[in-house]
Structure 1
Amino acid sequence: MTSDTPSIDRLAKLRGVVEAFTGQAFAVVDGGQFDDLPDACRREQLLVRSLFHDHPDAEVERAGRWLVSLAQSSDALERVFAMTRGKTTVVYWSCASGEAILHRHLRTLNIVRIPQWAADGGEVPPPDGSGQEPAAVMFRHWDPRVLGATMPVLIPGQFVRILGPAAEIAFLAEDYGGVRRVVADPAFPPDPGGVLTIGSEQIEALTARRLTASHRRIAAYSREVAASEVGTASDTALHEHVVISDRVGRSLGLAGEAAQSRWALLMLLSQGRIASHEPTRAYLAQDGDSPDGHLRRLFDLTIAAMGEARDARGPRR
């Protein structure tokens, strides 16, 4: 329900950053946003290499991550921008060591270790201290949103582990400051190798950054679709409303951002009264579907009823 479609101005800025790379430039593109990314690249006359090329399932490999060298033709960058227009997962790398070295490095980043409690979906460590053992999960280093949230919480050794042989990476993360550059620092230690490991305190900080970004998206959605109800409310006031709505929604079992967006809007339209409406609370808690699913139907019925009531009143004079 919310949108992070890149703005034209920010795309132009990102293109300028990539064009200024001093080393050989590459793009890492998410095949999951295409019906068939390798075929799309063939149509654009772009050679690509899979970062999942050992995967036994061809469908998984096709939907996986692909490395595109921008040195293969003078207009390769232009073709990548054209091919990925409207997409959100492209990360650009500058690496003087060449394609083979970068390809090998990126494949070592596909897996990251995090505490088991986080791998299980937790947002904070259990109070009894359990779940601290490391668990291997996929690291979406091809996703600007992941890098935008993750890079600021890393220590130098982890920072270097992600960059590896690269001098710089650039991406557009609308929720984390727009166009971001991550530049290698000569003062940092050498790449320690091994599997990147992210600790409990960093996961908590990462979760907080993601939640703040989610709140911004929900606030923007509310202002877009309920302009008359939001009125001239300040960004601060609207943010406070979203934070309160999110807290209430979580207490009712709502999990996804789409559900929280719907709930924030219903909270806004009802001036908060729906939070204490017992039939609504009972409906969301009933069996047969998740609270998110129940809310989706309730939201659709509510919006439809509001539209019918508005039509019955007739046009304003």
Structure 2
Amino acid sequence: MFDHFDLVDEEGRPLRQPSEASIALIEGFRKTALPTFAVMDGALFSDLPKSLEERKISSRSLFLDHPDAEIARAAALFIPIENETTLTKLLSVPKAENAVVFWSSSAGEDKLFRHLRGINVILIPDDESILNEENDTELSPLVPRDQSVLFRHYDPNVIEATLPLLTTEQFVRLMGPCDQIMWFSLEKGARRRALRPENDVVVPRGPLRLTDEQIEELEFNRKASAQSRRVNYLRVVEPDRTRLMSDTELYRFSATEVSNGESLGLRSERSLTLWVYLQLHSDGKIGRDPGLRGYLQSFPEDGTPDDKIYLLMTRLSALPASTKL
């Protein structure tokens, strides 16, 4: 069924074999009669515009033009999927299947493009409130205010986490002229899609706004998903050390070490996962080393604590086996 993956592209380069996610997305595309557009996060790739250009795939940035080439390369890209061949080429970009959201719309390319640009930013409640300007005294009631934040509608993990929390009105505002959203869920291991409601729903004016409760639930779900991925990773890379640990014990160990890593300044999911791995692999020796803890919190010339944990992993991997932890 997917023999075309064994062929070469126009430049003679072999297209890589399809992953389970790629196959699922191609099957989903075949079932979609509407014009479909891929949206991808350039920040997840070394040079996504170049990869698309090499495959002769056209794209437009969903961000404003920026003179800095590195920043421009990290922009979210809007990509018309003209046919299955275009989709096949797109999915030949390494890891593309896990970093793409497909938006299908009968309203036309330009209208959908403008809509997606319009939801790049959404509103969330600000932690601070302001005094009522009409009576600016200490006794005046506080007026809640919002802050604008980037909304990564081009990240399948964000779409997966956000959609279940939205009200019907919020969901319709998110969809705009879009009839269907499709993505591959790493957590579920399956293709997912969301359809615009058939009944008429009044679309709220103004930007999409999430409530305090929705933000809290998003953060809770994000941490739970990250923890689940982290535990699965540990079982794969350290089968001998985790074999005798129950899921509860491994979850507890991971949660404790994530907290320890955060206290040292680690922030990204990847760096926290590496910290937990190092702690497990070294039986806790890494965390008890005052020199290493001091290094993570000092020496700004080596970058952030996240940068330093990657540097540490690189150095450890270069050591002779007899000297490794």
Indicate the TM-score class for this superposition, using the shorter chain for normalisation: 0.7 to 0.9
Match of 1:79 in 2: 89
Match of 2:41 in 1: 30
1:103-128: CA deviation from partner (whole Å, max 9, x where unpaired) = 1211211111123349xxxxxxxxxx
Contact 1:176 1:213 survives alignment (8 Å): no
Unaligned runs of 5+ in 2: 1-17, 129-141
**Letter in structure 2 aligned against 1:201:** E
The aligned runs of 1:107-186 (5 Å cut-off) are 107-117=117-127, 133-175=145-187, 178-186=190-198
Query: Deviation of residue 92 (structure 1)?
Result: 0.8
Match of 1:98 in 2: 108
Q: What is the number of equivalent residue pairs in this alignment? A: 290
Q: Cα RMSD (Å) of the superposition?
A: 3.5
Match of 1:224 in 2: 236
**Letter in structure 2 aligned against 1:250:** E
Match of 2:55 in 1: 44
Match of 1:20 in 2: 31
Structure 2 Cα separation of the partners of residues 255 and 30 of structure 1: 20
Structure 1 Cα separation of the partners of residues 316 and 272 of structure 2: 16
Matched, 1:308 2:318: no
Query: Deviation of residue 50 (structure 1)?
Result: 3.2
1:168-198: CA deviation from partner (whole Å, max 9, x where unpaired) = 1101231365422111122462322421111
Contact 2:24 2:190 survives alignment (8 Å): no
What percentage of aligned pairs have identical amino acids? 29
Matched, 1:55 2:69: no
| TM, length-normalised to structure 2 | 0.74
Contact 1:245 1:267 survives alignment (8 Å): yes
| TM, length-normalised to structure 1 | 0.76
Match of 2:222 among 210, 216, 221: 210
Contact 1:171 1:179 survives alignment (8 Å): yes
CA change 1:228–1:305 in 2 (3 A) is farther
**Letter in structure 1 aligned against 2:219:** T
Match of 1:258 among 270, 275, 283: 270
Contact 2:119 2:174 survives alignment (8 Å): yes
CA change 1:310–1:164 in 2 (3 A) is closer
Structure 2 Cα separation of the partners of residues 132 and 281 of structure 1: 43
**Letter in structure 2 aligned against 1:287:** S
Query: Deviation of residue 284 (structure 1)?
Result: 6.0
Structure scoring higher RCO (CA < 8 A, sep ≥ 6) equals 1
**Letter in structure 1 aligned against 2:322:** E
Query: Deviation of residue 143 (structure 1)?
Result: 1.3
CA change 1:176–1:196 in 2 (3 A) is farther
Query: Deviation of residue 306 (structure 1)?
Result: 8.8
**Letter in structure 1 aligned against 2:40:** V
